[in-house]
């Protein structure tokens, strides 16, 4: 993996880039998320970021680190930054992000689910990192938009150039309601995710959030490296 990262640095114009990837996380804290689920979501993200496999990718290219920002969202005007843009250049940087996630208290917010507004907030955050080689917005959610602009009405012209929006939909954890999470996943695919290689990951309940987030991180963090390398000629 280190060799692949060095290949990036050799490409024209990339050596001056500020970071390898800008990754903004938007966490759903609307009324459908209770206090236990709230902690499962924040602690689950911390657990996923600290898994051995994810850490290997995060610290694979020390000359071009990954920048992360984490915010929570609910109603049209309720978006709160938990972790501002932070460069993950060292394990100490990641430890600071982990501590912020695990210690962050829940703040009062609207009970509604404003996915469109969460998208627009995420786009504004990504615009703050124009020099990164790749820009990704991750939106986690357990329901449909019911306030503010609809995500499907936010045209792709609003998406920062080259940016990708991926989704992590959260089901109830009840095997009898698998069809519901499948429908929510289809909604995210149709209305929310967009951009190069966009996809939706599924967590079967908040207890599965950490594992689902790890799967998603490994998929989106490695795609940049793999996609940029030209196979060697025989």
What number is the average pLDDT over the span 145-170? Answer: 93
Phi/psi class of residue 16: alpha, beta or left (left: φ > 0; alpha: ψ in -120 to 50)?
alpha
pLDDT of residue 215: 97
pLDDT surpasses 70 at 16: no
Q: What is the rounded distance in angstroms from the CA atom of residue 149 to the CA atom of residue 183?
A: 20
- Please report the pLDDT score of residue 174 as a whole number: 65
What pLDDT score does 41 carry?
Answer: 96
Residue with tokens 């793999």: 226
Q: Is residue 1 scored above 90 in pLDDT?
A: no
Look at residue 11 and tell me whether its pLDDT is greater than 90: no
120, two tokens: 């627009």
Does pLDDT of 211 surpass 80?
yes
Phi-psi region of 197 (alpha: psi -120 to 50; beta: other; left: phi over 0): left
Whether residue 141 contacts residue 167, with contact meaning beta carbons closer than 8 Å, is answered with yes
SS3 content of the chain, % helix, strand, coil (to 5): 45, 20, 35
pLDDT the model gives residue 175: 58
Kindly state the greatest CA–CA separation across the chain.
60
Task: Look at residue 18 in the predicted model and tell me its pLDDT.
Answer: 56
What average pLDDT does range 95-111 have in this prediction?
95
pLDDT at 160 over 90: yes
Give the span between the Cα atoms of 1 and 226, in whole angstroms. Answer: 9
Band of residue 176 on the pLDDT scale cut at 50, 70, 90: low
Average per-residue pLDDT in the chain? 87
Q: How confident is the model at residue 3 (pLDDT cuts 50, 70, 90)?
A: very low
Contact criterion met (CB below 8 Å) for 177 and 142: no
Give percent of the chain with pLDDT exceeding 70: 85
pLDDT in tens, 27-41: 999 999 999 999 999
Residue 224 in this model has a pLDDT that exceeds 70: no
Structure tokens at 99: 């501590």
What is the pLDDT at residue 223?
52
Per-residue DSSP letter, 74: -
pTM above 0.75, yes or no: yes
């Amino acid at each position: 993996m280190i060799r692949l990262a060095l290949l990036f640095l050799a490409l024209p114009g990339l050596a001056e880039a500020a970071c390898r990837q800008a990754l903004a996380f938007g966490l759903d804290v609307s009324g459908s998320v209770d206090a236990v689920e709230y902690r499962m979501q924040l602690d689950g993200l911390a657990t996923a970021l600290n898994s051995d496999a994810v850490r290997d990718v995060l610290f694979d290219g020390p000359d071009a680190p990954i920048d992360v920002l984490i915010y929570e969202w609910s109603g049209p005007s309720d978006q709160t930054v938990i972790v501002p843009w932070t460069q993950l250049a060292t394990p100490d940087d990641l430890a600071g992000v982990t501590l912020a996630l695990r210690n962050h208290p829940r703040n009062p917010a609207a009970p509604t689910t404003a996915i469109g507004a969460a998208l627009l907030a995420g786009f504004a955050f990504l615009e703050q990192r124009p020099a990164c080689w790749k820009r990704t917005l991750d939106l986690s959610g357990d329901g449909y938009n019911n306030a503010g602009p609809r995500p499907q009405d936010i045209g792709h012209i609003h998406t920062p150039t080259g940016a990708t929006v991926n989704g992590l939909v959260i089901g109830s954890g009840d095997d009898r309601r698998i069809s519901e999470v499948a429908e929510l996943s289809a909604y995210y695919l149709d209305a929310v995710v967009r951009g190069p290689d966009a996809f939706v990951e599924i967590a079967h309940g908040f207890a599965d959030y950490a594992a689902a987030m790890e799967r998603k991180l490994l998929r989106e963090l490695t795609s940049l490296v793999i996609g940029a390398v030209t196979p060697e000629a025989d």
